[in-house]
Chain A
Amino acid sequence: NFCVIFITFEGFLSRAGEANFPLAKMAAQEVQPSETIAKLKSESEALKTKLEEERAKLHDVELHQVAEKVDPLGQFVMKTRRTLKGHGNKVLCMDWCKDKRRIVSSSQDGKVIVWDAFTTNKEHAVTMPCTWVMACAYAPSGCAVACGGLDNKCSVYPLSLDKNENLAAKKKSVAMHTNYLSACSFTNSDMQILTSSGDGTCALWDVESGQLLQSFHGHAADVLCLDLAPSETGNTFVSGGCDKKANVWDMRSGQCIQSFETHESDINSVRYYPSGDAFASGSDDATCRLYDLRADREVAIYSKESIIFGASSVDFSLSGRLLFGGYNDYTINVWDVLKGTRVSILFGHENRVSTLRVSPDGTAFCSGSWDHTLRVRE
């Protein structure tokens, strides 16, 4: 069964012009526009619910049901193994280097720091000309970092080991958006960067020339996060936004190939399941969810009544069995992906957890917080 429903609201009606659209005409002449819209809205809600019910009837195979026969997880003891202190303000973003021990982090005061997290030594520091550096990424080669925020740009800094050299001198401005940069990621090489922005778009850039290679339109509000798919063909990525939608995009054509809208608030973080067949999302609605790309639907929801603050950042352990979620109530909740239950809650940060990533070889995970610190835990 195919079913397409297309409904538009205020904006469309006002742009449509009375003469061309009978609906608009009716709205203008006979009935108050707001009443028609309200009626349409409630009708569409009713239809949506009915559709979901029909779909649910055919899809009563839930992940946690199938996982019933899987052995439950034991108690996990995860301690903080390293605390990285050095940022003078809220840590907003971090990323691991492929060497499994170095990380780059960025903060509200414009500082971007590269650390050897294993020794806790700071290796590089750059001060951006803007505040709220919300995005940073390590290049696959380990030779550069990218970052951006309220400057609406994404800049790439090659990492020089000459102590006298000012990193800022070699800075390359790559991406230009019309609103803040919320996330950035190198693709499979140092030569391309994928960005997401408060201007509602994502974009793919050529680093060397700063050329825009592809742009992705479809979100109705700020895009807050993105993640590249670990698929064989390596051509897709997922983004999440303030419109509560998670969209999957084809990088070649710029088309949105799949869309998921079950969250009840902003989606702050998206991350692919290691096989690439699904992705997890963390939202201000205090839940994390798992979406299966083949089934084209949500297959698990990770929530608890006692968790009342939004999830800002999510990532999987190497096997995909554990989902780590950093929350705005300063905690990290660890979920059993298959069974849907919470395995552990980790305290320690003294303010919001804003960013969380598992290391490339899965030996540890690092969380960054508004309390100015980063913690590496195992």
Chain B
Amino acid sequence: MERVIVSMQDPDMGMKMRNQRLLITVIPHAMTGRDIVDWLIQKYTITEEEALHIGNFLVKYGYIYPLKEPRNLCLKQDETPYRFQTPYYWTSTRWPASELDYAIYLAKKNIRKQGELIEYEKECYNALHKRINHTWDFVVMQAREQLRASKQRRKADRIVLECQEQAYWLINRPPPGVMDILEQGPDRRNVSDVMLYMWCLPLKNKLCMFVWVCSFVKYCEQYQDHDPIMQGCLPSNPWITDDIMYWNMNSETVTMPTKLRVERWSFSFMELLNDPLGRKELLTYLEKEFSAENLCFWQACEEVRHGEASKIAAKVDEVYKQFLAPGASRWVNIDSKTMEKTLEGIKHPHRFVLDDAQMHIYFLMKKDSYPRYLKSELYKNLLAKAIVPQETKKSVFPFMRRQRHSSPSPALVTQTAEDNGKAKPSAAKANAGTASQI
């Protein structure tokens, strides 16, 4: 904000000031609200709405104060006069704004207005009188001194000083009901005593840099049609039309998925695995190829990694029995070095003991099974049959809003299963199906 204020006061490119008539007094170096907004529009190439928004903050934070209606700290986009606050009172200086200072200010006002303070100021004044009663003589003496000194000034200066001080206190002691603009939330530690160390990794070459930067462009282009905020979605965005068809058509348990969804599986192996339906399709394909144990093993490893600490040993044992033991029913084909290391590690099972084996199988699927799946009849048929939904237009009569249907809470699904004494298929599926971030 100070940067903006300094720019506004620039002798060449800053605001044009003029004298403002306030009743019978002429106040120099003032500007109108309209001028402020216009200057902001011109300087930052922004809209009127944004300029007014910023201008309002300059007033609310006390960098500019109004000459008329000084209690109303807002920017009016008309001939209302404003002035720059003196840096002494800038919010950033963070004077402690102590009770003593406030008391002196109120005392001055009280004397000047002969006891006719505004309600809340009267309350504050009385409260302060009670609280710092022992220094009250000092307060009154200071107040009288400051008033006497100000009487020596020209009327215009006196008015300006009073306005500046009033603006300062309006911000530091906001009236009841007015937002406290200075509230920052819980204190954060300041960084001092810093250990500063820098390092440079080997400087990569320009070609790599170019490839990496291009990858963002590629990614955005690839996903553009799948981005509902950018391109919309079919049949319609539920938040706009209140129609939840889009969610129903893309749910986990749908029989026939949409074309976009099936297409997305071809973007990366992660996309296929992240979609429970995609994973199911992959499993079907792998079963045909007699390599389904890979996917099952990978899933079992995920459950070890992300499961309860107390169940790790038991789960690892299960995995060993099913997938790793010699002659196991679903033995996975891992290279001997990894297998040796894993079997050794299993003797003292921990959360990450299966990581190497899991990675090996993951990359095996990614490099081998996944590309073949994408070329398979299974995938191609599904893609051909996949649905392209019809667009649902927003209701022609805007006041006839569609009823917004509620959906069963995910917590309910689990609870019902529990109540029925069954195992928790939904929860497990939900966990497995959401075993990644996307």
Contacts and interface: CB of A to CB of B under 8 A. Distances in A.
B23 interface: no
B423 interface: no
A318 B223 contact: yes
A11 B194 CA distance: 8
B219 A308 contact: no
Interface string A112-154: 0000101101010000000010100000111110000010000
B436 to A, nearest CB: 6
B197 A191 contact: no
Interface in B213-232: 213-217, 219-224, 226-230
B199 A4 contact: yes
Contact of B203 (A55, A119, A140, A198): A55
Contact of B199 (A3, A160, A209): A3
A206 B430 contact: no
Given A118-B244, A242-B191, A275-B219, A188 B415 contact: no
B33 to A, nearest CB: 18
Contacts of A304: 44
A232 B270 contact: yes
B427 A143 contact: yes
Interface in A285-341: 292, 294-296, 299, 304-306, 308-309, 317-322, 329-331, 337-338
A210 to B, nearest CB: 10
Given A230-B436, A230-B437, A308-B4, A345 B50 contact: yes
A339 to B, nearest CB: 10
B308 interface: yes
Contacts of A331: 53
A243 B191 contact: yes
Contact of B227 (A308, A338, A362): A362
A216 interface: no
Given A140-B430, A296-B201, A363-B229, A102 B409 contact: yes
Size range of the chain A interface in the assembly: 35 or more
Contacts of A161: 409, 411-412, 415
A345 B194 CA distance: 37
A21 interface: no
Interface in B189-210: 189-191, 193-206, 208-210
B437 A188 contact: yes
A316 B95 CA distance: 40
A221 B216 contact: no
Contacts of A67: 216-217
A139 to B, nearest CB: 9
Interface in B287-324: 302, 305-310
A61 B226 contact: no
Interface string A23-64: 000000000000000000000100010010011001111110
Contacts of B409: 102, 116, 123, 142, 159, 161
Size range of the chain B interface in the assembly: 35 or more
B186 interface: yes
Contacts of A376: 239
B44 A306 contact: yes
Nearest to B194: A220
B411 A378 contact: no
A243 B188 CA distance: 11
A306 B215 contact: no
Contacts of A63: 213, 216
B49 interface: yes
A376 B409 CA distance: 19
Interface string A85-128: 00000000000011111100000000000001011010100000
Contact of B215 (A8, A9, A275, A309): A275
Contacts of A351: 179
Contacts of A221: 188-191
Contact of B195 (A12, A190, A242): A12
With most chain B CB atoms within 10 A of its CB, the pick from A97, A273, A361 is A361
Contacts of A82: 239
A358 B217 CA distance: 20
Nearest to B362: A232
Contacts of A169: none
B189 to A, nearest CB: 5
Contacts of B244: 118
A292 B435 contact: no
Contacts of B215: 275, 277
Interface string B350-376: 011001000100100000000000000
B233 to A, nearest CB: 7
B240 interface: yes
A329 to B, nearest CB: 6
B392 interface: no
A330 B34 CA distance: 22
A134 B214 CA distance: 37
B179 to A, nearest CB: 7
A337 B179 CA distance: 34
B102 interface: no
Contact of A308 (B3, B43, B188, B309): B3
Interface string B392-406: 000000000000111
A329 B53 contact: yes
A16 interface: no
A224 B427 CA distance: 31
B200 A51 contact: yes
Interface in A253-280: 266, 272-275, 277-278
A118 B114 CA distance: 58
B246 interface: yes
A121 to B, nearest CB: 7
A208 B226 CA distance: 37
A365 to B, nearest CB: 7
B229 A59 contact: no
B200 A55 contact: yes
A364 interface: yes
Interface of B: 1, 3-4, 40, 43-44, 46, 49-50, 53-54, 57, 179, 185-186, 188-191, 193-206, 208-210, 212-217, 219-224, 226-230, 233, 237-240, 244, 246-247, 250, 269-270, 302, 305-310, 351-352, 355, 359, 362, 404-407, 409-412, 414-415, 427, 430-431, 434-438
Given A141-B431, A208-B308, A294-B208, 18 more contacts: A10-B193, A62-B213, A118-B407, A141-B410, A160-B411, A161-B415, A180-B186, A188-B435, A188-B436, A208-B310, A213-B351, A221-B188, A243-B194, A277-B212, A295-B212, A306-B54, A319-B224, A337-B220
24 contacts: A9-B194, A44-B196, A61-B206, A70-B220, A98-B410, A102-B410, A116-B406, A118-B238, A143-B414, A161-B409, A180-B186, A188-B436, A191-B308, A208-B308, A211-B309, A221-B190, A232-B269, A295-B209, A306-B50, A319-B226, A338-B216, A345-B50, A363-B246, A378-B240
The 10 A-B residue pairs whose C-beta atoms are closest, nearest first, are A142-B410, A319-B223, A306-B44, A319-B227, A230-B437, A189-B306, A11-B193, A159-B411, A206-B309, A140-B434
